[in-house]
Amino acid sequence: MTFVQIIDYKTSRYDDLSDLMDRYVAQSQGKRTVTHSMIGKDRERADHYLDVVEFPSYEEAMKNSQLPETDRMFKEMVALCDEMPTFTNLDVVRDEQLNKHLVNRLFDVCIVNGNLDALEECVATNHIDHDVSHEATTVIGLDPLRKDIKMWRGGFDMEFEIACQLAEGDLVTTVWTWHGTHKGDFMGMAATGKKYDIQGTTTCRILDGLIAETWWHYDIGRLMREMGAPGS
């Protein structure tokens, strides 16, 4: 179970404390078990800060606390604080990464299951699409995306196998393998009944709760060659 520790402290020497954290990261490289660390500054009190530190589990957090580098860093941190920091220890019982959920809805509901009515719930009307299969590699709007989905679904029974998914800031990158059985006309190629695979990545930029921009990277040329397209 993911474990999070919140450190609440006050300091008038934040720059010195930030330098201390940089040294700790360098000195504990390859030893520490922290997976994510974030520092927040109170908008109402300039000397009030919160550190949110994430670990894979409570046990991993305890291992981290026993490192000599961690002990040394904490003693130096206390010396830079105006008063003794306080700690809140949390077992994470719910963790929703909503940007990932939105992207997965595009893949599963709109593309694979063909629910195009749900497209407007996932994608901005002025969506910008960068796709290597387009003659113009950048297109804008929902209609071109609808057309693309209809084309792929008309040509294939298909699914996406997600290998991994990374979210940072307003971006979500999905690494996937596409599996498709050629059932109908696709880019001028009559149905072959054969199964094909493509490996690729899709990066989505999220703005105001909708997918505003996407970048698709995959080898459309290899797929067309395997299907026997003339001149491919």
Do 84 and 112 belong together in one domain?
A: no
Do 177 and 68 belong together in one domain?
A: no
Query: For residue 186, what pLDDT is reported?
Result: 87
What 3-state DSSP class applies to 165?
A: strand
* Residues 217, 130 contacting (CB under 8 angstroms): no
- Is 39 a member of any domain? yes
Mean pLDDT across the chain, nearest whole number? Answer: 91
- Is 221 a member of any domain? yes
Domain count across the chain? 2
Do 46 and 125 belong together in one domain?
A: no
- Domain of 103? 98-227
Do 181 and 212 belong together in one domain?
A: yes
pLDDT bin (cut points 50, 70, 90) of residue 232 is low
- Is 232 a member of any domain? no
Q: Please tell me the pTM assigned to this model.
A: 0.75
Q: For the ranges 39-43, 53-57, 222-226, which has the lowest average pLDDT?
A: 222-226
Q: What is the pLDDT of residues 83-97, one digit of tens each?
A: 999 999 999 987 778
